[in-house]
Structure 1
Amino acid sequence: MLGVVNRIVLAVLGLVLTAAGAAVLTGAWPFGGREAPLLSAATRQRYGHGEGWYWWAVAAGLGLCVVLALWWLLAQLRRSRLRAVAVDTGDGAFAVLRGRALEEAVAAEAGALDGVAGCRVALRGRRGSPALRVALELEPHAVPADALAALAGPVLTHARTSAGLPALPAEARLKVTSHRARRVT
């Protein structure tokens, strides 16, 4: 949910900044009119200290900021989850396994482990080399080493075998739930 909010805020901010930039470039800047420059000659001299390289350095710095902002925006728009995995059927053909199906299967199997209160799974990487990111929410009585061993053993082995992936690396993040004690009256 936070990723969606982040993208919406970025899109709105980008539209506002694009509109402001277009207004400046088309000469519709409200403060000086169509014919007035953004910075007067006196302002340029005062802040430029009479150096010819100063404004070139400012323009290069702003250009670098624009390039970095565009790179960051493209990184935000990129999908973080893998939609599908190519599975070798063994007879020279390939099948396509939906990423959500593999995520749900691993989450269901890992969520059924003893001491696991909840599980979220994300399939990342590339089609030819997928990887799993597993977030286990453990109950307070659970032993983290046992839960991790059960995940690394039967759960991931079953996922690798059923998906036909000899190598399916996984990153596990463990979190222990906190149960609040109820006041008995």
Structure 2
Amino acid sequence: MLRIVNRVLIGFVGLVLLLLGGSVLAVGLGAPPPSWWIHDGRHDVLLSDAERTRWQGSGWWWPTVIAALAVLVLLALWWLTAVLRRRRLAEVLVDTGDGEGALLRGRALEGVLASEAGELEGVAHAHAHLTGRRTAPEARVRLHLEPHVDPATVLHDLTARALTHARNSAGLARFPAEVRMKGVRHRAERVS
């Protein structure tokens, strides 16, 4: 959901900035200003003396401007952290049974899961990605299947072997997984 909101928001902001910047450039190069343009021509200043000093005597003006800008900065920082936040799980907490715990690198578990899934019959290529929390990881597995293989058989083998082995080795009670399968396309070859 956040990815969709992010794309829509970036697209909207980009479109507004493109229209505004293009209009400023066009008016600055001598094009007649559009009807909705706030200035009269290319030599008009952004803020006149009257516009700059209109609210100078009001005590509420500058605190309101500063508060609005602070809210905009906080929203921009929240957006930036949401975009830059790591989607990949860095580590998994493994229960060692002695009340302590061990940390398993997420990339190591992803690599083992992908290699075991890639060894299944009919799988041309496999990729694994861990998400969730370190105490409750979730897997996203993408499989590229050969044309002759039955997807239900590959899914059963993946669940019974690779995912079960990963769940047991990490000591997890449950290990939910989302599996996406895609058929591999081969180029036609000329046989003589």
TM-score range for the pair, normalised by the shorter chain length: 0.5 to 0.7
Distance 1:161 1:70, change over 3 A: same
Aligned residue in 2 for 1:3 = none
The RMSD of aligned alpha carbons is 2.8
In the TM superposition, what whole-angstrom CA distance separates every residue of 1:56-111 from its partner, at most 9, and x where no partner exists?
Answer: 9xx96x88766554333212211111111111111111111111111111111110
Letter in 1 for 2:84: L
What's 1:90 paired with? Answer: 97
> Structure 1 CA distance, aligned partners of 2:189 and 2:50?
71
Please state whether the residue corresponding to 2:110 is helix, strand or coil. helix
Q: 1:39 aligns with which of 31, 43, 47?
A: 47
What code does the residue aligned with 1:118 have?
Answer: H
Alignment-derived partner of residue 108 in structure 2: 101
Q: Max radius of gyration: which structure? A: 2
* 1:131 aligned counterpart, secondary structure: strand
Distance 1:69 1:140, change over 3 A: farther
Task: Identify the residue that residue 82 of structure 2 maps to in structure 1.
Answer: 75
Unaligned runs of 5+ in 2: 1-9, 11-16, 18-43, 53-63
* Secondary structure, counterpart of 2:189 in structure 1: coil
Distance in 1 (alpha carbons) for counterparts of 2:73 and 2:150:
49
The 2-side partners of 1:158 and 1:172 are apart by 16
What is the aligned counterpart of 1:136 among 120, 139, 143?
143
**Residue 27 of structure 1: aligned partner:** none
- Tell me by how many angstroms 1:142 deviates: 1.3
**TM-score w.r.t. structure 1 length?**
0.64
Aligned length, in residue pairs = 138
Distance 1:179 1:43 in 2: 67
Partner of 1:119: 126
Distance 1:159 1:77 in 2: 28
Residue 40 of structure 1 and its aligned partner are, at CA, apart by: 3.1
Q: From the superposition, tell whether residues 181 and 68 of structure 1 become closer, same or farther in structure 2 (CA, over 3 Å).
A: farther
Secondary structure in structure 1 of the residue aligned to 2:143: strand
Q: What is the match of residue 172 of structure 2?
A: 165
Given the two structures, how large is their TM-score scaled by the length of structure 2?
Answer: 0.62
Identical aligned residues as a percent: 58
